[in-house]
Structure 1
Amino acid sequence: MHIRRAWASDCGAVSKYGFDEDLYFAQIQRLEPWAATCHFLVVPDVIQDAEATLNVFTHYARELAATPLPLAYVLQDGAEDEAFPVGAQVAFLGGSDPWRRRWGATLLARAHEEGLRTHVGRVNSAQRVQALSFTHADSCDGTYVAFRSVERGLREIGAWLDRASMPSLFSANDFRHVP
């Protein structure tokens, strides 16, 4: 029996080696045969700079228009003042921690209202998983398992998810941002 697993791909722009455009496009070509199970492909972004990220997204989205992979726009510091770009199918919450705490839920709700799927990066604790239960986050990722054994890390993350999915007095629809 063949199991089709959902997956997503980062762009490598924030790796310790920096962004390699040739490697990025070669990776996209290798991944396209599995587009049916792809949640998103991250378009390059600029850490904590929404304006630069929007410019980079606009540039690469034109080049990626023919790819069947859904494009993720990374929300960076300052994105609260920007419209979601044409071509984005997923809003990926990046940015600095203070900015995410201030604007994250608002931007995820806005993306949800505009029909974009949502994803949150750097979710590496039970506290962050719990906080997501009050947002319109469709998915999340983190590097927690890389610092634990796979077995222990998956067991702990499973417990976080179980606690976060318990019935709650409130849901994301009960909250809205008031500037």
Structure 2
Amino acid sequence: MISAKGELRTEGFRRYALDNGAWTAYQQGAPFDEYAFSVAVERLGERADWLVLPDIVMGGLASLDYSLKWLQRLRGMPCRMLIAVQNGMQVNDVASLLSPAVGIFVGGSTEWKEQTAHVWGSLARRRHCYLHVGRVNSARRIRICAAAGADSFDGPSVSRYAKTLPRLDRATRQADMFAAAHDGLEEAQRATADDLI
């Protein structure tokens, strides 16, 4: 995952995704940097597997409106684009927008994300679209992603704190990482691994 607010380098990766940098701006109490995102899209967007459309963290329908303006602006971009669903959004708000070319990025607060991941997973399956979950930094949240049927997830825990990798690896090691997708949300949420963040 390459952030528009970070170094615009792919390190020779064959595959990568492009994040818009809205979470970083939110954490810093800064406005979203449209210019930085535009530069990132210009340099790396065409070869990205997918990109996250600009959003407003925990911004509900205002976030969706903002994302849709960018969806129009980026029309014709050859990569998949993901709409960040945020606190307050409902399935009916985004269902008609989704397709194999436009998917879902589950954002929002940690609590909202955990409570609604299964709903977005169900919608993604019905609409045949890609599902990514952001800020997944614990074995418990990995299990929630698996139960929701997420195609991918990200989290800075391992990249920033390498000592967390063995703990996450041990907690999720199994023949098929997504075998937990057969579990219900309650089973995934009751997983015993402690949250790291």
Structure 2 Cα separation of the partners of residues 124 and 46 of structure 1: 21
Q: 1:30 aligns with which of 13, 20, 43?
A: 43
**Cα distance change of structure 1 residues 40 and 141 upon mapping to structure 2, 3 Å threshold:** same
Gapped regions of structure 2 (runs ≥ 5):
1-11, 186-197
Alpha-carbon displacement from aligned partner over 1:97-125 (angstroms, at most 9, x marks no partner): 22223222112211221111100111101
CA RMSD of aligned residues (A): 2.6
1:118 maps to 131
1:93 maps to 106
Give the structure-1-normalised TM-score. 0.79
**Cα distance change of structure 1 residues 161 and 20 upon mapping to structure 2, 3 Å threshold:** same
- Greater Cα shift, 120-129 or 84-93: 84-93
Structure 1 Cα separation of the partners of residues 76 and 178 of structure 2: 41
1:9 aligns to 2:18 (yes or no) = yes
Structure 2 Cα separation of the partners of residues 166 and 99 of structure 1: 22
Instruction: Report deviation, 1:21.
Output: 1.3
Higher helix share: 2
**Cα distance change of structure 1 residues 31 and 160 upon mapping to structure 2, 3 Å threshold:** farther
1:50 aligns to 2:60 (yes or no) = yes
Identity of aligned residues (%): 26
Instruction: Report deviation, 1:55.
Output: 0.4
- Greater Cα shift, 84-93 or 66-75: 84-93
Gapped regions of structure 1 (runs ≥ 5):
none
2:9 maps to none
Letter in 2 for 1:43: L
Checking the alignment, whether the CA contact within 8 Å between 2:158 and 2:164 is kept in structure 1 is yes
1:67 aligns to 2:64 (yes or no) = no
1:162 maps to 173
Alpha-carbon displacement from aligned partner over 1:30-70 (angstroms, at most 9, x marks no partner): 1145x2xx331111111112201110111111110021121
Checking the alignment, whether the CA contact within 8 Å between 2:85 and 2:105 is kept in structure 1 is yes
Q: 2:93 aligns with which of 82, 88, 94?
A: 82
Give the structure-2-normalised TM-score. 0.73
Structure 2 Cα separation of the partners of residues 10 and 83 of structure 1: 20
2:188 maps to none
SS at match of 1:133: helix
Letter in 1 for 2:112: W
